[in-house]
Structure 1
Amino acid sequence: MPDNLPLDFIGFPRLSGHALLSLRGADAAVFAHAQFSSDVTALPERHWQWSAWLSAKGRTLAVFQLLKVDAEHVLLVLADADAIASQLQRFVFRRKVKVEVRSDLIVAGSFTAPEAASGAAIAVDGETLELDVGSDALPRTLKIGPAPAGAPAPDAGFELAWRQSDLRYGLPRLGEDQREQWTPQQLGLDRLNGYSVKKGCYPGQEIVARTHFLGKAKRALQLLRVADGVESGAKVQQNGADIGTVASVAGDLALAVLPLELAEGALSVGGVEAHGVPLLDGLAR
């Protein structure tokens, strides 16, 4: 381990697939509230929540962590969709908010319980933010801060383990081919408290509310153990018929959108048998 690696990040490998998007200005929280699915104005400072950006048709473009650092600073932790910065900029208009990719900061993780953060509360130590992104069943800590000089290269094995832990919690990791394919209900974002049906308008809100109040959601995420090499978009079959689609993959784990009520019979993906795995609770914020 390099001697000049700050103590804060020792034992915290960098998650190279994660990006940070800063919304800063007097209208930052109001802008985020109007664009994203969660209730940003009700979120206390130095707290975070799960959120999503939806299309006008209520389909999910990105799922992310939304941090209210202070009254004029909202920070998004994007695991898969860093390209939304340029798209968001189109909706700023005259609002007092600056949208900026924070390439000067890194996101690092550890499969350990946090030292100070708890639940949705963010712990702040100088320029470093600590987040509790786990539970007693599977402790995890995320740290965000200035990129340290001499930090080791990201570890592919650790990144796969982290991605698999996301899927075990039911957190969808959407590749480009799966964006704009699913409603928040189909992706199980209610398990994460990732959307609101009570706050004001946001893109896709009408579809989300209608599905919620009319009880029309007939599909949801289920975790499967499958053979390595299965790709997102692959069809899940039962009794010779396609019944669902793989939305996220990490090694031999996959999150698939399947009917809420399944018939009797084994599941398969690509002709290989797949087995259901219980999702972990405890990641809702």
Structure 2
Amino acid sequence: MSSASYVVCSSCNCSLRRVIPHGRRSFRFSLFSSNPSPNDTFFTRKHSLSSTLPLFSRTASAALPFDFSPPPIDHDLLDTVTVEGAKVSEDGIVETFDNDDEALDAVDNGVVVVDLSHYGRIRVSGEDRIQFLHNQSTANFECLHEGQGCDTVFVTPTARTIDIAHAWIMKNAITLVVSPVTCGSITEMLKKYIFFADKVEIQDITKQTCLFVLVGPKCNKVMEDLNLGDLLGQPYGSHKHYSVSGMPITVGTGNLISEEGFSLLMSPAAAGSVWKTLLSQGAVPMGSKAWETLRIMQGRPAPGKELTNEFNVLEAGLWNSVSLNKGCYKGQETISRLVTYDGVKQKLWGIHLSSPAESGSPITVDGKKVGKLTSYAVRRKQSEHFGLGYIKRKAASKGDAVTVGDNIVGTVVEVPFLTRQCPPSP
């Protein structure tokens, strides 16, 4: 047999059998239906070397709602990643696999998997959930339908930035992914704005779920090999529901830093099996330290750094997350004035640096302060220095030289996340 073949079984309980040649030997895989027995596995290799890998089975969006009860104690993801060499903080965050440069290189030429389970996840349910989030954040939720998604920004009444949320519109709820440092405050803020007649419920489901993201040019190949090819080419934020050994998992297009790649939301009980499967497909594990470096080099703003009460949502460049033609919402009047009167006075840029720099350092041009460095990262064994910073619009632009701190030379550059933002045409 020279290529993979498929045989459709007459039984609905075993709908697909795939045989893949491997040299002189063949490996046989079985994909079960969305209703397997408790002892079934979704990805079984029948060979003299005993091995079992989970695969994803498509299921209806309402068929497998998340069970928010605590996971079984023998399905501890942190135990799984520790075996893979992870260094875990006291807060349970996977900081590094001691492979930061390798993982960052894989972003350019392979695929990485990142455990972002420490990021916040908020479930907004109830009949009025669409209108509620439509009024409380910058995106137009009323034009979205089940299976779609978007980025939206939570802002103050004066359009100062709080956080970017990635939203999935599901059948019975909207799931928001936010920064770990803002999850609690955003949850409480949303609850505060629920009025007596509103049919809205807010639930922090961070501890009841796990979140992985895939980044890199080989993501599509991994998705195809895991029978998730129906997501390829779908718009950013699109998502579908699957199951792994009977446990629900939602997979969406894009991730927190890029419209390419994928995000996976799942029950903690499934997380260990999914993690092992992704590694078996060639994904390189990445810890939170390398993820922070990647965030900075991609140019995604973060709370407490680029997203603070000091900067508004348009200065942060988050045009794709802002609706300029929907009705009234928090911060809308300020945003409208900024657009109408061209009131955006500074812009967020990437900055190549000649040496290490500290966040908060002033940015100057010809001795005059024109901005502030908000984030700093280094990679490739301490030889590549990079930062993000706000600079006054008329003071510098792409390719210009600036000074950071006392005497650090910087070159202003565009960054991918912000380059994809689409300001309105003049």
Shorter-chain TM-score bucket reads 0.7 to 0.9
Asked if residue 100 in structure 1 is aligned to residue 236 in structure 2, the reply is no
Counterparts of 1:249 and 1:133, CA distance in 2: 24
Aligned AA (2:187): A
CA contact (8 A) 1:211 1:217 kept: yes
- Aligned mate of 2:175, from 75, 81, 87: 75
- Aligned mate of 1:54, from 139, 150, 155: 155
Please name the residue that 2:190 is paired with: 88
Counterparts of 1:5 and 1:19, CA distance in 2: 28
Does the residue aligned with 1:12 lie in a helix, a strand or coil? strand
Distance 1:176 1:98, change over 3 A: farther
Asked if residue 129 in structure 1 is aligned to residue 260 in structure 2, the reply is no
Please name the residue that 1:185 is paired with: 314
Give deviations 1:162-195, integer Å, cap 9, x for gaps.
Answer: 33433444321122795222111100001xx111
Give deviations 1:217-237, integer Å, cap 9, x for gaps.
Answer: 121111113344522x33222
Q: Percent identity?
A: 19
Counterparts of 1:101 and 1:158, CA distance in 2: 24
Cα offset for 1:78? 0.6
Q: Which runs of structure 2 are paired with 1:190-209 in the superposition (5 Å)? A: 190=319, 193-209=320-336
- Aligned mate of 2:358, from 226, 230, 255: 230
Structure with a larger share of its residues in helix: 2
Please name the residue that 1:269 is paired with: 404
Give deviations 1:73-110, integer Å, cap 9, x for gaps.
Answer: 11111124212111211111221111111121111112
Cα offset for 1:22? 0.7
Distance 1:86 1:263, change over 3 A: closer
Distance 1:143 1:186, change over 3 A: same
Q: Which runs of structure 2 are paired with 1:5-20 in the superposition (5 Å)? A: 12-20=113-121
Counterparts of 2:259 and 2:134, CA distance in 1: 30
Counterparts of 1:220 and 1:150, CA distance in 2: 39
Does the residue aligned with 1:207 lie in a helix, a strand or coil? helix
| Structure 2: runs of 5+ lacking an equivalent | 1-50, 57-76, 82-111, 224-230, 276-283, 379-384
Counterparts of 1:183 and 1:236, CA distance in 2: 19
Cα offset for 1:250? 4.1
RMSD across aligned C-alpha pairs, in angstroms? 3.1
Give deviations 1:250-283, integer Å, cap 9, x for gaps.
Answer: 4443221112233596312223222223322685
Runs ≥4 in structure 1, deviation > 6 angstroms? Answer: 8-11
| Structure 1: runs of 5+ lacking an equivalent | none
Aligned AA (1:201): C
Distance 1:179 1:218, change over 3 A: closer
Q: Calculate the TM-score normalised by the size of structure 2.
A: 0.58
- Aligned mate of 1:158, from 284, 287, 303: 287
Counterparts of 2:340 and 2:174, CA distance in 1: 30
Counterparts of 2:271 and 2:335, CA distance in 1: 46
- Aligned mate of 2:304, from 151, 165, 175: 175
- Aligned mate of 2:416, from 268, 280, 283: 280
Please name the residue that 1:258 is paired with: 391
CA contact (8 A) 2:187 2:203 kept: yes
Does the residue aligned with 2:199 lie in a helix, a strand or coil? coil
Counterparts of 2:374 and 2:161, CA distance in 1: 12
Cα offset for 1:216? 1.5
- Larger Rg over CA atoms: 2
Give deviations 1:116-171, integer Å, cap 9, x for gaps.
Answer: 2532221322322222226xx9943221111246748xx99532333343344432
Q: Which runs of structure 2 are paired with 1:202-221 in the superposition (5 Å)? A: 202-221=329-348
CA contact (8 A) 2:113 2:285 kept: no
Counterparts of 1:76 and 1:149, CA distance in 2: 20
Q: Calculate the TM-score normalised by the size of structure 1.
A: 0.83
